[in-house]
């Protein structure tokens, strides 16, 4: 009986660890797929207010962007490019929401620096980033930086830069995920995709 109980507990422990384990590299991630739903998770705004994702999604179709943080020059270029294309994206009936592990305070700095008017959200604990399947173990040389930008909440993971297009029911209609953080979807290609999704 003891042996059976031990095996049962060991199995439960293994399954729990498998679900929370973060892949070692960006190439090992298993992201949500087109047709699946973005989980309804509560995140923080730049004003440190709690916001439910489903409440944001139900108003408008969404271009959902995951970026590494305001410290990343490639992310800043991408956020700025989206800011420049925002009017076209809005005209097509979409809103832009960008999420990183940065704290709400650091979101404000990023918004000012990159001239961003769209919504930036904080996921310092990685609840959404991990559930979306795009988290991976941060290389050692990034750990001190992500620690500072998350106020010590995140010391271990990074999101693979990703763009999901989501409808008002949280269904994924399109995704662009690149394990190479230097490669991002261009605004021109994104706009073309949004036009074809209409």
- Confidence band for 132, pLDDT divided at 50, 70 and 90: very high
β-sheet bridge partners, residue 198 = none
Contact in structure between 181 and 162 (CB atoms under 8 Å)? no
Asked if the model's pLDDT at residue 194 lies above 50, the reply is: yes
Q: pLDDT tens across 93-113, in order?
A: 999 999 999 999 999 999 998
Higher pLDDT, 4 or 166: 166
More confident call, 115 vs 61: 61
pLDDT digits 0-9 by tens, 19-69: 458 999 999 999 999 999 999 999 999 999 999 999 999 999 999 999 999
What are the backbone angles phi and psi of residue 122, rounded to the nearest 5°? -100, 130
pLDDT at 21: 83
> Higher-confidence residue: 121 or 114?
121
Residue 119: pLDDT band by 50, 70, 90 thresholds? very high
Residue 114: predicted pLDDT: 87
Residue 74 in tokens: 């490639």
Q: Return the pLDDT at 29.
A: 97
Cα–Cα distance list, 101 to 22, 81, 176, 190 (Å): 15, 20, 19, 23
Task: Average the pLDDT over 128-137 and give the result.
Answer: 98
Work out the pLDDT band at 1, boundaries 50, 70, 90.
Answer: low
């Amino acid at each position: 009986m003891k042996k059976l109980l031990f095996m049962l507990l060991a199995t439960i422990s293994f399954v729990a660890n498998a679900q929370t384990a973060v892949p070692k590299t960006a190439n090992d991630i298993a992201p949500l797929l087109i047709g699946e739903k973005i989980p309804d998770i509560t995140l923080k705004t730049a004003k440190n207010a709690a916001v439910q994702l489903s409440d944001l999604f139900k108003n408008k179709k969404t271009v959902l962007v995951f970026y590494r943080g305001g410290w990343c020059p490639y992310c800043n270029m991408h956020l700025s490019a989206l800011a420049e294309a925002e009017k076209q994206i809005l005209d097509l009936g979409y809103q832009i929401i960008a999420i990183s592990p940065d704290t709400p305070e650091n979101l404000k700095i990023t918004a000012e620096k990159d001239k961003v008017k769209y919504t930036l959200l904080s996921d310092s604990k990685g609840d959404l980033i991990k559930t979306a399947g795009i988290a991976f173990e941060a290389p050692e040389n990034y750990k001190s930086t992500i620690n500072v930008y998350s106020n010590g909440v995140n010391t271990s993971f990074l999101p693979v830069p990703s763009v999901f297009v989501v409808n008002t029911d949280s269904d994924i209609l399109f995704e662009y995920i690149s394990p190479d953080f230097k490669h991002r979807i261009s605004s021109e290609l994104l706009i073309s995709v949004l036009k074809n999704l209409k």
